[in-house]
Chain A
Amino acid sequence: MAIALAIVLVLIVVGSVLFHLLSPWWFTPIASNWGHIDGTVILTFWITGAGYVAIILFMAYCILRFRHRAGRRAQYQPENNKLEWALAIGTTVAVIALLGPGLFVWYQFITVPEDAAVMEVVGQQWQWSFRLPGKDGRLGLSDPRFISSDNPLGLNPKDPGGQDDIVVEGNELHLPAGKPVKVLLRSIDVVHDFYVPEFRAKMDLMPGLESYFWFTPTKIGTFEILCAAFCGVGHPQMRGTIVVENENDYQAWLAKQHTFAELSAHAQKANLRDGLPSSGALAAAKE
């Protein structure tokens, strides 16, 4: 029994390592600047993996070597201060080796470069919308109170800074490659999470507050946005697309998008035709 168990433990260790090295399942190819995140994952893998292998193999050895046989008696050794402290210090060193690089990369992750462009992601069950600043380079104020069918993202109609904001509905956003972008996130109903596996970064959209992260898309291509915070029965279907393209293609796409002012005017016209006041005007009048 002891021999069988020791062999099984060795096989578990060898099998786990081989599985890691040979299986086809690993990170998707990275498409952002966050190579350091992959680096910390791999560092963690090797440090903790070495510990795992060492502990299980040592245990397998003990099971084999110190298995019960007739006349065998265990050693009586309650403590060994030196050994215990050496192990504690060794573990502490390993933890520092994990934590140091980890916190360094985290610092980078939360420190947005000054030249980063700004964009906003708005989540609702079960779709994605986006907003880009207009010529003034900043996003106008918003509040869920202002949300209506003509103003789906709840921009404050009285804030002149918001009139030139570009509102992108329909789950698809384009971004220029190679430019850092600060992503502001908010939700108008429940908790969502903006997750593009190829970018490595993800962040919740927490109703009632605005969160952020930043990244630089580095690869031209089309990437799928998933929701990574359970948001109700439609959660798996809450998908979107990010198209990363070169500057020219991006500008061409941008030119086809509509500003908040254009959308409001369009809605007003349509409402006048139907004999209805625009709801944007209603919300403004209520204030």
Chain B
Amino acid sequence: MVEIRVDGAIPAAEVPDVELYHAKSWITKYVFCQDAKVIAIQYSLTAMGIGLVALVLSWLIRLQLAFPGTLSLISPEAYYQFITMHGMIMVIYLLTALFLGGFGNYLIPLMVGARDMVFPYVNMLSYWVYLLAVLILVASYFVPGGPTGAGWTLYPPQAILAGTPGRDWGIILMLSSLILFIIGFTMGGLNYVVTVLQGRTRGMTMMRLPLTVWGIFSATVLALLAFPALFVACVMMLLDRLLGSSFFMPAIVQAGEHLSYEGGSPILFQHLFWFFGHPEVYIVALPAFGIVSDLISTHARKNIFGYRMMVWAIVAIAVLSFIVWGHHMYISGMNPMFGFFFATSTLIIAVPTAIKVYNWVLTLWRGNIHLTVPMLFAIGFIVTFVNGGITGLFLGNVIVDVPLSATMFVVAHFHMVMGIAPILVVFGGIYHWYPKITGRMLNDTLGRIHFWITFLGAYAIYFPMHYLGFIGVPRRYYELGETAFVPPSAAALNVFITVAALIVGAAQIIFFFNLVWSFYKGKLAGSNPWRATTLEWQTPETPPGHGNWGKELPVVYRWAYDYSVPGAEQDFLPQNQPSKGPSRQAAPV
């Protein structure tokens, strides 16, 4: 079936088109749909819906921290349920689902020049299993005892013992939901990987892929390798909880009572959890890295600086992310000799990560910078990511971690680096691709208001929060109470942070209003409003129809970053535009 062409400049393996399944009814077109673009929207709306729950929870958390004891509905049990659900929703059900299921589904087939994902039916199942996982998670609010309050890390033994909220039902639903999420993700993830490897159109070599695709592709490979560790950990804990096995449970005497567990290892759970958990950081970060690269390049009208270095930095980060998990466990009591290894591997990651930052900033150098809303969010990302990245150098360097771990410094760090920074990219990405998805532009003024409040507000929340950690304020405290070493001014700081958090949260209403309003009233976008080079902007229809490309698949002649090419008439050359001279390639093919 594979034909080797030797006639043109671009040798390519070509697979004949397979006829797509065309929807015959409203239900198969919009509900049980196999079109990756519809699945992407289903994923995104579900993720944003559950994300709103997490946003409200974060308000309640902040209200408790600023005004302890004022709101009677926030009991200690409720507080720990809030932080647990907030964390798990944000990391797994919002960010992972949105970047991979949302952006991945929409952009991969379009950007590589495919008609759809390679396994559309499995892709559809992926969403429905994800939705089921979300519903089970939500259901934990309606069972006796409510959702689990074990903290989002779900550390045993505490997660399944009395003294922890949701010990009866909540933890069972949480573990079941995670297991389903992983099953659903695996179906989608295999699709993304195989589509990138096998579904590229003629001329689209790996080294011509936009960095968005590289980011999502690498993150998906990470997720396929990392989620199994979480999967088995969840199954084992479920057995400990339901059948009384002792995978993670040593001999325990709780409140004077000898429990029936014996011989298990709670630290084993931590190893499994973080073997997943650290790559998870990059599962969220790598798509953000990729997307922001394309936003900066497009809106600065300049090729991304150092494309090859950017690709290899993504690959290096992805590989290294599997050997750094122990930096979450420096003070867990594991053999302290591990500290030398994990501190070294962790700080090595700083090098490829810093290279990415340099190359983003150097892309601005001698650019033609259009401060569009997507560009604003991209710049906001760089500020917050650099800020959160350097605090990672504190926590990664084992001895520096000792005084700071388990304090509010950690909370500030990871919110800045894997909360705010990727979310700013999500917003930037939505402002950038919404015109392709709907055919209409998002309102520019609303977008700018949304950016300024979100960016400055988020910085005001998390930058000062680090200093609570320096004082020594521990995280996961329902209330600090009388603590001699904490100055009273820290309470004032907590009030300030809460006010900022309430404002930033409320500002998201502007964004959601804009999404809905512009869908009906937005300015018509045309097919390529940003004058971008990548294939998704070259579709015959906007929004792209089922099958994406009309009769003929596009043929790719150049890399994704031919902006402001000397001698060219326009300041961009689409990837599918043939050129007379030899096309520039980022690397030998």
Do A and B form a real pair?
yes
Nearest residue in A to B333 (C-beta to C-beta)?
A211
A25 and B493 within 8 A (CB): yes
A148 to chain B minimum Cβ distance, whole angstroms, is 8
The CA-CA distance from A189 to B373 in the complex, in Å, is: 52
- B506-534: CB near A (< 8 Å → 1, else 0) gives 00000000000000000000000000000
A145 and B251 within 8 A (CB): yes
A25 and B155 within 8 A (CB): no
Query: A49 at the A/B interface (Cβ < 8 Å)?
Result: yes
Interface window among A233-241, A247-255, A263-271: A233-241
B484 and A224 within 8 A (CB): yes
- Known A-B contacts A77-B366, A189-B254, A233-B76; A103 and B402 likewise in contact (beta carbons under 8 Å): no
The CA-CA distance from A125 to B163 in the complex, in Å, is: 8
CB-contact partner of B355 in A48, A88, A145, under 8 A = A88
B399 and A188 within 8 A (CB): no
Query: B193 at the A/B interface (Cβ < 8 Å)?
Result: no
A44 and B158 within 8 A (CB): no
Query: B499 at the A/B interface (Cβ < 8 Å)?
Result: no
- Cβ of A76: which chain B residues have Cβ within 8 Å of it? 302-303, 563-566
- Known A-B contacts A62-B367, A99-B343, A208-B250; A78 and B307 likewise in contact (beta carbons under 8 Å): yes
Interface window among B26-34, B52-60, B474-482: B474-482
B369 and A62 within 8 A (CB): yes
Nearest residue in A to B75 (C-beta to C-beta)?
A233
Interface window among A131-139, A155-163, A165-173, A191-199: A191-199
* Interface set, chain A 24-79, CB cutoff 8 A to B: 24-28, 36-38, 40-41, 44, 48-49, 51-52, 55-56, 58-59, 62-63, 66-68, 72-79
- Cβ of B403: which chain A residues have Cβ within 8 Å of it? 27, 37-38, 41, 197, 200-202
B406 and A202 within 8 A (CB): yes
Query: A1 at the A/B interface (Cβ < 8 Å)?
Result: yes
Number of contacting residues on A, CB 8 A? Answer: 100
B309 and A84 within 8 A (CB): yes
Nearest residue in A to B360 (C-beta to C-beta)?
A59
Nearest residue in A to B303 (C-beta to C-beta)?
A78
* Interface set, chain B 405-456, CB cutoff 8 A to A: 405-407, 456
Interface window among A104-112, A113-121, A174-182: A104-112
Nearest residue in B to A109 (C-beta to C-beta)?
B399
Query: B229 at the A/B interface (Cβ < 8 Å)?
Result: no
- Cβ of A83: which chain B residues have Cβ within 8 Å of it? 362
CB-contact partner of A233 in B163, B303, B357, under 8 A = B163
- B294-337: CB near A (< 8 Å → 1, else 0) gives 00000011110111110000000000000000000001110011
The CA-CA distance from A193 to B383 in the complex, in Å, is: 34
Query: B80 at the A/B interface (Cβ < 8 Å)?
Result: yes
List the count of A-B residue pairs having beta carbons below 8 Å apart: 325
A66 and B366 within 8 A (CB): yes
- Cβ of A149: which chain B residues have Cβ within 8 Å of it? 256
B339 and A79 within 8 A (CB): no
* Interface set, chain B 568-589, CB cutoff 8 A to A: 571, 584, 586
B347 and A98 within 8 A (CB): yes
A59 and B364 within 8 A (CB): yes
- B341-385: CB near A (< 8 Å → 1, else 0) gives 001100110110011011101101111111100001001001100
The CA-CA distance from A105 to B343 in the complex, in Å, is: 12
- Cβ of A284: which chain B residues have Cβ within 8 Å of it? none
A147 and B258 within 8 A (CB): yes
Instruction: Please list 7 pairs of residues, one from A and one from B, whose beta carbons are closer than 8 Å in the complex, sorted by A's number.
Output: A12-B383, A19-B463, A84-B309, A84-B359, A110-B337, A202-B405, A226-B472
User: Sorted from nearest, which 8 A-B pairs have the closest CB atoms?
Assistant: A211-B333, A208-B250, A197-B472, A232-B163, A48-B390, A190-B158, A25-B467, A75-B366
What residues of chain B have their CB less than 8 Å away from a CB belonging to chain A? 76-77, 80, 149-151, 155, 157-158, 161, 163-165, 250-256, 258, 264-267, 300-303, 305-309, 331-333, 336-337, 339-340, 343-344, 347-348, 350-351, 354-355, 357-359, 361-362, 364-371, 376, 379, 382-383, 386-387, 390-391, 393-394, 397-400, 402-407, 456, 459, 463-464, 467-468, 470-472, 474, 476-481, 483-485, 487, 489-490, 493, 561, 563-566, 571, 584, 586
Other than the given A66-B364, A78-B303, 16 more pairs (CB < 8 A) read A9-B379, A56-B386, A84-B306, A110-B339, A147-B253, A188-B253, A189-B158, A191-B157, A200-B403, A201-B402, A208-B264, A228-B406, A230-B80, A230-B151, A233-B165, A236-B76
